[in-house]
Amino acid sequence: MDSFYKKYGLKEVINASGRMTILGVSKVSESVIAAQRFGGEHFFEMAELSIQMGAYLAKLLKVDDVQIVSSASAGIAQSVAAIIGQGSKYHVYHPYTETIVKREVILPKGHNVDYGTPVEVMVELGGGKVVEAGYANMCTPEHLEMMINDNTAAILYIKSHHTVQKSMLTVTDAAKIAKKHNVPLIVDAAAEEDLFKYINEGADLVIYSGAKAMEGPSAGMVIGQKNYINWVRLQEKGIGRAMKIGKDNILGLVQAVEDYLNTGSESGESMRQRLEPFVRSLNTIANLSAEIVQDSAGRDIFRASVKVADKKSAKEVIAELKQNAPAIYTREYQANNGIIEFDVRSVNAAEMKKIIDRLKEIMRGV
């Protein structure tokens, strides 16, 4: 492994930040690698591969149909384009034509976040126009409903730790409003772990990342009602062409979903147990105070939360952790409050020791 890093001039990375796109998201299993290899070594009729793999996933997920896409972001853009075009082949070739005026996509204001790119960029790429509902710290069903008009194409709900969590309507709330006005509800659940929940709560289309909770390759999938999925699939001949996914990652994603449904992901309790000795070691380091905390969005994910003494800022420690090889990446969302979080889902015991050793070096200088 070291020779590979040396050959290409790359820096080894310890990913204690979570399933982050900037670090390649997640590691894949041997079974996923085997599926990708099979895909890479064989030819397929790509249109048929897309349909058949979607049908296979649909049976596993108990939905009408599934379209595999290159990423969750592509899923947003292609889903928006699909709902606007409604199966029109003219729209596929002219996605931004002014003859279509029904382009408004209603989004709770607290969901219009930057997750690596702004949500509204993906909506606009799909030809939609974002209309915000509610306020940054509140969106009720009434706020959502009052924004619906004759130009409303869809409602988009972002289920993510990036979004505002307090005083926000639920997916079920949004689904009731959507059905009342016969407007499709799209849920972006990119990193969410439950592959059944949001369809069961009334969403028409749900988007997942293949590389996050499921630890698959760079890929995504849109699941939901048959007619809507057909419209999404049609986008492969339009804007989806620039977002196409290869045969190896299609097969790898299907294997990852199957494995995930069979074995699940690491439980919160397992994370807690692995974190306990790590946190004890952190608390032996001068000017650091550590505890185990749950994910702020309520997911079954536990992390080490480390408070840095005032003599050295959390931002300075974060920067120093990245400097050496291996570069150690952490969750930086609370750095302005003097807190660093360590997500250990992709961190083994040997890497935890490297983190401890590096923090001891850094904190000696305080």
Which residues, 6 or more positions from 217, have their beta carbon under 8 angstroms from its beta carbon? 28, 32, 36, 210, 211, 248, 249, 252, 253, 256
Is a pLDDT exceeding 80 seen at residue 1?
no
Asked whether the bond before 141 is cis by omega within 30 degrees of 0, the reply is no
Per-residue CA distances from 337 to 151, 275, 310 (Å): 42, 22, 10
For the chain, the average pLDDT equals 92
Q: 250-283 pLDDT, tens per residue?
A: 999 999 999 999 987 778 889 999 999 999 999 9
User: In this predicted structure, what is the pLDDT of residue 162?
Assistant: 80
pLDDT above 70 covers a percentage of the chain that reads 98
Pair of tokens at residue 83? 């709902």
- Rounded Cα–Cα distance for residues 338 and 357 (Å): 20
Overall average pLDDT of the 230-245 stretch: 96
- DSSP letters of 24-80? TS----HHHHHHHHHHHHS---HHHHHHHHHHHHHHHHTSSEEEEES-HHHHHHHHH
- In the chain, the DSSP E strands lie at 13-16, 65-69, 104-108, 129-133, 152-158, 185-188, 205-209, 220-224, 288-294, 302-308, 327-330, 339-342
Determine the topology of domain 44-263 in CATH: Aspartate Aminotransferase; domain 2 (3.40.640)
Sign of the Cα pseudo-torsion (258, 263, 264, 266, in order): negative
Q: CA 140, 142, 145 angle in degrees (round to 5)? A: 115
- Rounded Cα–Cα distance for residues 23 and 222 (Å): 23
Per-residue CA distances from 162 to 80, 111, 115, 214, 309 (Å): 21, 8, 7, 19, 26
Q: 106-152 pLDDT, tens per residue?
A: 999 999 999 889 999 999 999 999 999 999 999 999 999 999 999 99
| CATH class of the domain at 2-24+266-364 | alpha beta
Kind plus residue range of the DSSP H or E element containing 270: helix 268-282
How many Cβ atoms are within 10 Å of 59's Cβ, its own excluded?
A: 9
User: In this predicted structure, what is the pLDDT of residue 107?
Assistant: 97
Q: Which of 164, 149, 169, 163 is nearest to 105 (CA)?
A: 149
How many helices (H) and strands (E) the chain has is answered by 14, 12
Reported pTM? 0.88
Is a pLDDT exceeding 80 seen at residue 20?
no
User: In this predicted structure, what is the pLDDT of residue 163?
Assistant: 85
Q: Which range has highest mean pLDDT (19-28, 68-77, 214-223)?
A: 68-77
Q: Is residue 365 very low, low, confident or very high in pLDDT (cuts 50, 70, 90)?
A: low
Q: Where are the domains of the chain?
A: 2-24+266-364, 44-263
| β-pair type (302-308, 288-294) | antiparallel
Pair of tokens at residue 54? 């979607």
Partner residues linked to 187 by β-bridges: 157, 206
pLDDT above 90 covers a percentage of the chain that reads 75
Is a pLDDT exceeding 70 seen at residue 366?
no
User: In this predicted structure, what is the pLDDT of residue 11?
Assistant: 86
Phi, psi of 208 (to 5 degrees): -125, 150
Q: 299-340 pLDDT, tens per residue?
A: 788 999 999 986 678 999 999 999 988 899 999 888 888 999
